[in-house]
């Protein structure tokens, strides 16, 4: 038997490549889930603060989804130009974490003030509230 008469080489098995690709896709999926899980709630806070930046207090009050006992005057006292933060000029969302299955705590810096503030966001309604945590 000469080199030219040798049987053809068997093609490499592709099963290992498929297992590696499936593992990679799974890892990327888990990372995306962890990073993006609270994205809708972070977006709700961003929309609220952007609305305040623009000075549209009626719309911001609607986005807050207040209870019956929290009047628009109370809202303006807290979030208006003379409120706790003054006129909202800028903000930065620092992160978020789940608090149970229904609530997300979004940490945000408003007008560069320290320490950052925590806002609660209801997962179902996207209503906002102050965080007691």
Q: Mind listing the pLDDT tens digit of every residue in the chain (133 residues)?
A: 566 777 777 777 778 888 899 999 999 999 999 888 999 999 999 999 999 999 999 999 999 999 899 999 999 999 998 888 889 999 999 999 998 889 999 999 999 989 999 999 999 999 999 877 6
Q: Strand 91-99 and strand 128-130: pairing?
A: unpaired
Closest CA to 118 of 100, 87, 97: 97
The Cα–Cα gap between 16 and 66 comes to 56
Per the structure block, which two tokens stand in for 22? 């499936």
The Cα–Cα gap between 71 and 63 comes to 14
Is 23 within 8 Å of 15 (Cβ atoms)? no
The reported pTM is: 0.78
Domains and CATH numbers, the chain: 38-130 (3.10.450)
């Amino acid at each position: 038997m000469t080199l030219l008469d040798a049987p053809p080489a068997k093609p490499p098995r592709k099963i290992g490549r498929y297992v590696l690709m499936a593992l990679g896709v799974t890892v990327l999926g888990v990372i995306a889930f962890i990073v993006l899980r609270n994205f809708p709630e972070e977006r709700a806070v961003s929309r609220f603060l952007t609305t305040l930046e623009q000075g549209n207090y009626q719309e911001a009050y609607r986005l807050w989804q207040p209870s019956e006992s929290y009047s628009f005057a109370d809202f303006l006292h807290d979030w208006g130009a003379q409120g706790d933060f003054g006129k909202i000029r800028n903000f930065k969302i620092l992160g978020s974490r789940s608090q149970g299955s229904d609530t997300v705590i979004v940490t945000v810096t408003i007008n560069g003030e320290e320490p950052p503030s925590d806002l609660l966001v209801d997962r179902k309604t996207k209503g906002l509230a102050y965080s007691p945590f």
